[in-house]
């Protein structure tokens, strides 16, 4: 037990040196926290330890998850919106959530044609890294629908449901972003993660309706659930680290 302390110290010292070294592209170095082999989590850049007893959702970090998806093995996109389980129960179901998405200007992906890779996320619900349940794109014109958006770029989001037995809240965790047009091969905009979140949030709190159902969301902003900045973030695009917790009320 005592003998392992100096070794532990050495590892931490080496990790510190590696991080402060000017060699290489620092933006692409993932968080120390992402390396489970160290066993210790390093909260930096505004990230705070996991929050307990949140109502309608469970902090994924309480059980090894995180608020950044796994786009690649090391880089990810922020889960910047949560639809809490205190929302309209219909919105928490998949068909209801699709309707709700349409009400705020999104639609299911163009004719089942899947663009890009499936992202994994670990919501700390005991299911480990699971592929997104839904990928939803903005539609610009009702007639052409999502097909037009697929060509032009725009807003989209991926959604995962927190429904494993370890954290069976039923909340939706959402990674929203704004893309450039497809001539840029669906690259994310300069500030695309913050912009994508804010687009979704603005429409949700303004209120929306779809086929006779009306909704309006209440919002609570949370900081400290993920780090600020570009470290570990896909495309090296900085995030402000804020997560919108939405409770979508049926009117």
Ligand X SMILES: *[C@@H]1O[C@H](CO)[C@@H](O)[C@H](O)[C@H]1NC(C)=O
Is residue 200 packed enough to be buried (19+ CB in 10 Å), middle (13-18) or exposed (0-12)? buried
- As measured in angstroms, the least distance from the Cβ of 107 to ligand X is 18
CB of 250 to ligand X, least distance (A): 19
* Options 94, 190, 202, 220; binder of ligand X; rule CB under 6 A: 94
Nearest-angstrom CA–CA distance, 151 and 145: 11
* Residue 195, both tokens: 């912009």
**Count of residues engaged in binding ligand X, rule: CB under 6 A:** 4
119 binds ligand X (CB under 6 A): no
User: Cβ 98 to ligand X, closest distance in Å?
Assistant: 11
161 binds ligand X (CB under 6 A): yes
Q: Which is nearer to ligand X, 46 or 131 (CB)?
A: 131
Q: Residue 114 CB, nearest distance to ligand X (Å)?
A: 16
Element (H, E) at 92: helix 89-92
Q: Does 126 bind ligand X (CB under 6 A)?
A: no
163 binds ligand X (CB under 6 A): yes
Q: What DSSP element (H or E) covers 13?
A: helix 4-20
81-83 vs 243-250, strand pairing mode: parallel
Nearer to ligand X, 161 or 230 (CB): 161
Contacts of 72 (CB under 8 A, 6+ apart): 234
CB of 232 to ligand X, least distance (A): 26
Classified as helix, coil or strand, 107 is strand
Q: Enumerate the β-bridge partners of residue 136.
A: 108, 157
Parallel/antiparallel/unpaired status of strands 129-131 and 243-250? unpaired
Which residue, 125 or 198, is less far from ligand X as judged by CB?
A: 125
d(CA 57, CA 49): 16
Distance between start and end Cα atoms, the chain: 59
Q: Which is nearer to ligand X, 94 or 202 (CB)?
A: 94
Phi, psi of 177 (to 5 degrees): -155, 165
Q: Are 176 and 200 in contact (CB under 8 A)?
A: yes
- Min. distance of Cβ 163 from ligand X in angstroms? 4
Closest CB to ligand X among 73 and 114?
A: 114
Return the number of the residue (96 or 196) whose C-beta is nearest ligand X: 96
Question: Is 89 near ligand X (CB under 6 A)?
Answer: no
Please state the closest distance from residue 58 (CB atom) to ligand X, in A. 14
Q: Which residue's CB is nearer to ligand X, number 168 or number 182?
A: 168
Among 133, 235, 249, 250, binds ligand X (CB under 6 A): 133
Q: How far apart (Å, rounded) are the C-alpha atoms in residues 97 and 95?
A: 5
Site residues for ligand X per CB under 6 A: 94, 133, 161, 163
């Amino acid at each position: 037990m005592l003998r392992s302390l100096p070794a532990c110290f050495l590892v931490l010292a080496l990790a510190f040196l590696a991080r402060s070294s000017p060699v290489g592209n620092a933006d692409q170095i993932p968080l120390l926290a992402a390396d489970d082999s160290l066993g210790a989590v390093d909260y930096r850049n505004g990230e705070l330890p996991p929050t307990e007893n949140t109502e309608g959702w469970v902090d994924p970090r309480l059980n090894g998850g995180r608020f950044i998806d796994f786009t690649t093995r090391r880089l990810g996109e922020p889960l910047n919106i949560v639809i809490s389980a205190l929302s309209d129960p219909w919105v928490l179901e998949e068909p209801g959530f699709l309707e709700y998405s349409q009400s705020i200007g999104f639609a299911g992906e163009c004719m089942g044609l899947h663009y890009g890779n499936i992202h994994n996320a670990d919501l700390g619900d005991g299911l480990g890294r699971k592929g997104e349940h839904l990928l939803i794109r903005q539609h610009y014109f009702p007639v052409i629908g999502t097909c037009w958006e697929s060509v032009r770029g725009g807003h989209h989001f991926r959604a995962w449901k927190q429904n494993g037995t370890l954290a069976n809240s039923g909340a939706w965790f959402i990674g929203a972003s704004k893309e450039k047009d497809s001539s840029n091969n669906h690259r994310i905009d300069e500030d695309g993660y913050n912009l994508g979140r804010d687009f979704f949030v603005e429409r949700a709190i303004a209120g929306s309706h779809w086929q006779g159902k009306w909704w309006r969301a209440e919002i609570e902003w949370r900081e400290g659930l993920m780090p600020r900045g570009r470290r570990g973030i896909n495309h090296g695009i900085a995030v402000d680290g804020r997560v919108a917790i939405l409770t979508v009320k049926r009117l």
